[in-house]
Structure 1
Amino acid sequence: MQVFSIDRGDGPIVLGQPHGGTHVPEPVAERLNDNGRGLADTDWHINRLYKGLLGDATVVQSHIHRYVIDANRDPSGVTLYPGQNTTTLVPLTDFDGKPIWVDGQEPSTDEVEDRRQKYHAPYHAALEQELARVRAKHGVAILFDCHSIRSLIPFLFDGELPVFNTGTNNGATCDAAVEHAVHETAAKATGFTSVLNGRFKGGWTTRNYGRPDEGFHAIQMELSQRAYMTEAAPWNYRDDRADTLRPHLKNMLERLRDLALSGALTEKGALK
């Protein structure tokens, strides 16, 4: 089983997809309880949703499920949201706070490190390499980290989540023009709700690679799954919903590509 795959493009945009994978190695799957084996916290159909929206984009997607190890968590184990409910590098519970492992079968510290080396590190090595390649070609690289989540999860947030949740760690991970292009598109999308740096401000991937002064810009898009699928097992993709959402995502990505190719970002940054 491949840990990750790369669909390499010639443009300045890299799509990161750390949570769409559903593969769980058999020795790990045997230790998940009935709740864990449901894999409810998957970013279901995320690759399908973005497929074909930007022909020259590079896509780096993990095929390993986040219950094996979460590719969007700090490998040191430091929490991204101090004081708030969240899940860890290797989750012990699902997003509802319910255990996912058979009692007594939770991963040990040594197992977590082994999984980090086998699955987390290779995905990020590939992502880093692709970002470096893109920046070398264009003088700038924009990482658009693609995520989705159920709309109602009281353990993580109050009320219903907006459809578009743009995260830039309060503006630290990208140039203001990148943030503006994405959030403005989301805010103007008729029939959809949006927020900037709300409950989701960008995960470890966005924060780690977002170094605008070095020509690397990163932004996270957390979508509410109600906008393109059914939010209950068997988690069906809904073409009628996705076909309404996809044009707005396409618009975001095209605006980012045009911005990168305009030279405006390299003129502002350290690389010229």
Structure 2
Amino acid sequence: MQDWLTVHESSAPLVIGLPHTGTDIPAAIETRMTSPWLGRKDADWWVDRLYDFAIDMGATLVRTGVSRSVIDVNRDPSGASLYPGMTTTGLCPTETFDGEPLYHPGQTPDADEIDERRTAWFAPYHAALQEQIERLRARGPVVLYDAHSIRSVVPRLFDGALPQFNIGDNDGTTCAPRLTRAVEAACAVSGDSLIVNGRFKGGWTTRHYGRPETGVHAIQMELADRGYILDPAGPVTPDNWPSPYDPDRAAPMRDHLRRVLTACIAFAESQR
């Protein structure tokens, strides 16, 4: 197992993907970047800590430690956009969510380098994810839950403030409707805002693995990070981002997410 790839195996019918919590950038790539901070700015900050309770629930976790600015393992490996006509970042991003350039002029990765990165990091991450899905599916249906977060306000990507819970099943294609309804109901208990298939309908992971007819039910959760850390009130700078992880502030969100994951496990077990 590569030191950048973490797999925690367990027995519940639930696999949690953590594709964007990594902050590792190889030195040879970081020196070509405009700023180490920009290279890590768009991480799903602290999501691995937010969900660490899932281990005690028997969930299997697959996490890459590599920054999404090096390669985004939740994008189509062909480079095709997941949201045609909308602003988004690519397989090997060249700019941040806010449109800031990640690389010095002439230093962006070319096609050969992108292919090398795909082989080095994208392929092993998905091989591990596939292995865990197949291991658990041998016993019956399984839920793949792709865990994400993003700043509540990113004007270049969406208007206004994002709902707290953003559930994606790619318009009802990646999991049984009953699972989506169960996750939605678990979120609704919080009293916070939620939406299904809004701005975020599920990334490549959810769309690629979600095959409910074969017993693999994939769903994405994109959290507005104000639910567990302090969102910057004004411009995002190295002085205010990322906000530190505060266990007390995160505790209510962890309770909500525990309810969500309980619903995922209960759904899978009901299918067996």
Contact 1:3/1:122 (<8 A) preserved: no
Tell me the equivalent position of 2:99: 97
Deviations 1:209-243 (A, max 9, x none): 00000000000000011111133424211223211
Contact 2:167/2:200 (<8 A) preserved: yes
Contact 1:35/1:99 (<8 A) preserved: no
**2:263 paired residue among 220, 235, 255:** 255
Deviations 1:109-164 (A, max 9, x none): 10000000000000000000100001102x11100000000000000000000110
Contact 2:39/2:67 (<8 A) preserved: no
**1:127 paired residue among 118, 123, 129:** 129
The runs of at least 4 consecutive aligned structure 1 residues that moved more than 6 Å come to none
How far did residue 37 of structure 1 move?
4.1
- The answer to whether 1:219 aligns with 2:219 is yes
Contact 1:166/1:221 (<8 A) preserved: yes
Tell me the equivalent position of 1:68: 70
Tell me the equivalent position of 1:50: 51
- The answer to whether 1:178 aligns with 2:140 is no
TM-score norm. by structure 1 comes to 0.93
Q: Give, as a single letter, the amino acid of the residue that structure 2 aligns with 1:48.
A: R
Structure 2 residues not aligned, in runs of 5+: 232-239
Structure 1 residues not aligned, in runs of 5+: 267-272
Tell me the equivalent position of 1:59: 61
Q: How many equivalent residue pairs?
A: 262
- Give the match's secondary structure for 1:104: coil
**1:233 paired residue among 234, 237, 241:** 241
Moved more, 30-39 or 62-71: 30-39
Q: Give, as a single letter, the amino acid of the residue that structure 2 aligns with 1:170.
A: D
Matches within 5 A, 1:150-189: 150-189=151-190
How far did residue 97 of structure 1 move?
1.1
CA RMSD of aligned residues (A): 1.3
Tell me the equivalent position of 1:202: 202
Quick one: distance in 1 between partners of 2:263 and 2:214? 21
How far did residue 174 of structure 1 move?
0.1
Moved more, 220-229 or 34-43: 34-43
How far did residue 36 of structure 1 move?
5.5
Change (3 A) 1:36 1:92: farther
Quick one: distance in 1 between partners of 2:263 and 2:36? 41
- Give the match's secondary structure for 2:126: helix
Quick one: distance in 1 between partners of 2:168 and 2:188? 14
Q: Percent identity?
A: 45
Deviations 1:157-200 (A, max 9, x none): 0000011000000110000111111111112312x211110000
Contact 1:70/1:90 (<8 A) preserved: yes
- Give the match's secondary structure for 1:106: coil
- Give the match's secondary structure for 2:258: helix
